[in-house]
Amino acid sequence: MIYFIYVLKMGGSVLTDPDQIKKTISTIQKIVSEGKNVVVVVSALKGETNKLDDIANKLHIEDKADRAEIISMGERVSARIMVGALKANGIDAILVDPQDDLWPVHSFGDYLNADVDIEKTKEDVQKKLFPLIKNGKIPVVCGFIGINEEKKIQTLGRGGSDTTAVVLGNALNAREVVLFKDVGIAFSGDPKKAQNVKALDELDIDEALALSAGGSGLIHYKAFKYLNTVLRVTSLDAGLSSGTIVNPTNGIGVSITAKDVSMITIIPEYDSSELLEKVTSVINSIGSQIYGLFIGSKAILLYVSEKPDLYQKVHENLVNSGGAKAISVMPSLTEITVKSFDLEATPGYLSMVVSPLAEKGINIYGVITATSSIKVYVSSNSAEEALNLIRQKVEV
């Protein structure tokens, strides 16, 4: 039998009062009536985690394990309310709480910002949750929470219910992970800060991660590490018929992403920010692609695709025509890109990338970091060796 599993995450912004909870129940009922198998992940009721955290602060509760127990109670209460409301409306819901034998989400690390043990979690999801789904039950899982090896509660960081939903979707090979939010779609900008923003129907995983890491609050950044299925951000009104779709891609790994790269160093005659527009215009007119850019107080560095007469044309347009004191061009470089969705959560990741090259005496002509990726520029003669050294260190 084929199971059409949808993991529905109900955020605190849609669990604000009894009327909104009734609306949530109606949305779940509709999805179940369409023959879909459903797992529900709940956040705390709106504002509850902040209240619990504030109480812990005022009482000077510093022990992280104690604080995790306290602030996780928001999700645990919310899950019980959801189960009771679903049952009252004829849906066979079952509570999945961290103190029950059914609990599948395992974690490790910081009590207040733990990581998921994905392999152990997958095993328990298949062993404990999937049989419930096969028997027609609706598991209601507390979001934001993991259990460590000592069987103690940990939390996955603020916004961690998104991560719980994505992890369960990964483990269940779900058709979709659906995040229900008060604003059920991503926009080109914050509607509260910009006018005439546009709705975004679709984003790839790199675009969504860049926006989230940049403060959009669209999806919790940790969730991307585990995303292997379609993710939908929507509202209770829109349901599964609308929202923003995030399509996963296999973008994790180490690879050569550009060959025949030149590094152009430009010494400005005046403030470098004023020169930037002219620089990019010149590079575009040559037909060269810009791979990376660094602006320092005394120099601008660009990494671009090599073109005939690149040096002469840049010098003519920037030095002879005014704007730059001098330029230099380093040709025959290669761009190696390291992509991983847990860069922001892994201290020392940059050192893991560059240290094996330093140990082997391979010169690095530039490093650029941005959200989920690190770009390293090395001589093309050393590119394959550098690629293998980074892979041995990082992919392990």
pLDDT tens-digit readout, 358-379: 999 999 999 998 767 899 999 9
Weakest-pLDDT range from 8-12, 77-81, 161-165, 307-311: 307-311
Whether residue 96 is found in the same domain as residue 228? yes
Both tokens of 18, joined, read 């009894």
Residues 212 and 266 in one domain: no
* pLDDT at residue 350, rounded to an integer: 86
Residues 30 and 104 in one domain: yes
| pLDDT surpassing 60 at residue 223 | yes
pLDDT one-digit tens code per residue, 83-138: 999 999 999 999 999 999 999 999 999 999 999 999 999 999 999 999 999 999 99
| Same domain assignment for residues 265 and 215 | no
Q: In what order do the strands lie in the sheet with 364-370?
A: 290-295, 300-305, 253-268, 324-339, 373-379, 364-370
**Kind plus residue range of the DSSP H or E element containing 130:** helix 130-134
Domain co-membership, 267 together with 332: yes
Residues 212 and 301 in one domain: no
* 257, 308: one domain: yes
The string of DSSP codes covering 312-377 is HHHHIIIIITSSEEEEEEEEEEEEEEEE-TTSTTSTTHHHHHHHHHHHTT--EEEEEEETTEEEEE
pLDDT digit string (tens) for 180-205?
Answer: 988 778 888 777 778 888 888 888 88
278 and 227 together in one domain: no
CATH number, domain of 388, equals: 3.30.2130.10
Question: Is residue 216 domain-shared with residue 264, that is, in the same domain?
Answer: no
Domain boundaries, position 368: 253-394
Residue 144: pLDDT band with limits 50, 70, 90 = very high
Specify the DSSP element, H or E, that contains 122.
helix 118-124
Q: Which of 192, 216, 247 is the last residue of a domain?
A: 247
Question: Do 207 and 312 fall into the same domain?
Answer: no
| pLDDT tops 70 at residue 271 | no
Domain count, the chain: 2
245: closest CA among 194, 295, 184, 310? 184
Contacts of 146 (CB under 8 A, 6+ apart): 98, 105, 106, 107, 108, 114, 116, 117, 153, 154, 155, 156
Give me the pLDDT at residue 276, please.
80
- Residue spans of beta strands (DSSP E) within 16-170: 37-42, 93-96, 107-108, 115-116, 138-142, 145-147, 153-155
**189-193, long-range: CB < 8 A, 24+ apart:** 190/216
The model's confidence at residue 1, banded by pLDDT at 50, 70 and 90, is low
Residue among 314, 240, 322 at smallest CA distance from 282: 314
- Percentage of residues of the chain with pLDDT beyond 70: 95
- Measure the CA–CA gap between 128 and 126, rounded to whole angstroms: 6
Structure tokens belonging to residue 61: 């509760």
- Boundary-marking domain end, from 227, 247, 267: 247
Read off the pLDDT of residues 281-333 as tens digits, 9 standing for 90 and up. 888 888 899 999 988 878 889 999 999 888 898 898 888 877 889 999 999 99
Q: Domain check: are 65 and 211 in the same one?
A: yes
- Cα(79)–Cα(96) distance, rounded to whole angstroms? 8
Report which of residues 53 and 342 the model is more confident about: 53
Placement of tokens 């973008």 in the chain:
251
Q: Which pair of structure tokens corresponds to residue 183? A: 């604003």
Question: Same structural domain for residues 152 and 228?
Answer: yes
Q: Can you give the CATH number for the domain in which 148 is found?
A: 3.40.1160.10
Distance separating alpha carbons of residues 4 and 175, to the nearest angstrom? 6
Domain end point (choices 247, 276, 307)? 247
In this model, does residue 347 exceed pLDDT 80?
no
